Amino acid sequence: MRKLLIALAALGAGVCLFLAAALALELLEPEPAPVLPEPALAEAVAEVPARAGLEARETAPEVLETARRLLEGRVRETGCGPYRLLTDVTDPTLIEACGRLASALDGALVERYGLKPVGEPRGTVVLFGRRADFRAFAEADGRVRQGYAGYSSGVRGYVALCADGPERDELLRTLAHELTHLALRRSLGEGLPPWLSEGLADGIGDTATAGGFIPLEGWKGVEGPARRLQGIYSTGREPDLEKLVGHDRSSFDRGTASVDYEASALLVRYLLAEPGRAARFRAYLAALASGDKSSVQGLRQALGVTWQELDHSFGSWVAAGPDRPVTAS
């Protein structure tokens, strides 16, 4: 899922954070993953059988029934790229942008993470023009989504979004974030640790624009959360990445001061910001796609650093801000 607004974090949502520096990280682990040049890596990863990936599910009939009932008299059933779109929103530029982003999403996963989703994208986007309908839909689904602009269910094959509130660009970022969750299920299966699921979803979602996806560079598209995280670290709170990556859904993003979402988004960017580190991270993702289980220590070993080094490096990277040139880690 994805927060509607940073300010709404105070309502009880959660977030994650991470930092990195240009310090030369000494490799203490004897088993670092091989560092491949990026193009070679992308090819190698694409050939890894995605044993963990699960075929997309058809949308559960009761989900469609509830959406059609709530939108009765106003619903339009059309398409958003390869997905079915149910909506009472009539803005044609929004519908066009929806299709553009949804069609490009699988390619973005390959290009950015080296993850190739299995099968074809399938499912439904339910886009509500009225907040009351979105709330009623979420409640009928057994969910309470205070402060969220959207959520997804890979198992039931849909994404639900509220267009009442966020500006168009923010809505498109949320759409791409939620669709990425569906695509991640097709790449890595279910039960991903929340930092990884949310961080990877933001790594695509935060780069969504009406014209398509912009490159994942620096803080582009994630300026607000990054500044929030930077501000928190500048007051003396240290990154604790081992804790962040160890959270399950019950402990992730708990409490009004949580920056678990922000830290997760920035950690993924940090991990991809420098070629050597990016190769290690993508190799870790490839291992997960091939069936390895995610684990806190598995990630650390794949990155070849200690938690202390990673905290320090990440903290320095966040502190340096968006304009810092990419250098060796």
Q: How far apart are CA 248 and CA 254, in angstroms?
A: 11
End-to-end CA separation in angstroms for the chain: 31
Which residue matches tokens 């990877």?
200
Shortest distance, CB of residue 198 to Zn ion, whole angstroms? 5
171 Cβ neighbours under 8 A, 6+ residues apart: 94, 149, 161, 163
Q: How far apart are CA 34 and CA 280, in angstroms?
A: 7
Shortest distance, CB of residue 151 to Zn ion, whole angstroms? 7
Tokens of 231: 């501000």
Residue at shortest CB range from Zn ion: 1
- Closer to Zn ion by Cβ: residue 2 or 112: 2
With contact defined as beta carbons under 8 Å apart, do 203 and 31 qualify? no
Shortest distance, CB of residue 110 to Zn ion, whole angstroms? 20
Tokens of 49: 């059988």
Q: How far apart are CA 140 and CA 87, in angstroms?
A: 17
For the purposes of burial, counting CB atoms within 10 Å of the CB of 322, is it exposed (0-12), middle (13-18) or buried (19 or more)? middle
- Closer to Zn ion by Cβ: residue 2 or 116: 2
**Of 79, 77, 82, residue with least CA distance to 105:** 82
Positions touching Zn ion (CB under 5 A) are 1-2, 198, 201
Q: 3-class DSSP state for residue 50?
A: coil
Alpha carbons within 13 A on the beta-carbon side of 173: 20
- Closer to Zn ion by Cβ: residue 41 or 204: 204
Shortest distance, CB of residue 215 to Zn ion, whole angstroms? 21
With contact defined as beta carbons under 8 Å apart, do 86 and 77 qualify? yes
Shortest distance, CB of residue 148 to Zn ion, whole angstroms? 9
Q: How far apart are CA 92 and CA 96, in angstroms?
A: 6
Shortest distance, CB of residue 174 to Zn ion, whole angstroms? 9
- Closer to Zn ion by Cβ: residue 15 or 25: 15
Tokens of 179: 């669709």
Shortest distance, CB of residue 261 to Zn ion, whole angstroms? 8
- Closer to Zn ion by Cβ: residue 146 or 234: 146
Shortest distance, CB of residue 78 to Zn ion, whole angstroms? 25
- Closer to Zn ion by Cβ: residue 56 or 182: 182
For the purposes of burial, counting CB atoms within 10 Å of the CB of 175, is it exposed (0-12), middle (13-18) or buried (19 or more)? buried
Tokens of 293: 């289980």
- Closer to Zn ion by Cβ: residue 206 or 309: 206
With contact defined as beta carbons under 8 Å apart, do 272 and 317 qualify? no
- Closer to Zn ion by Cβ: residue 2 or 277: 2
- Closer to Zn ion by Cβ: residue 13 or 201: 201
Shortest distance, CB of residue 191 to Zn ion, whole angstroms? 14
Tokens of 164: 């009442």
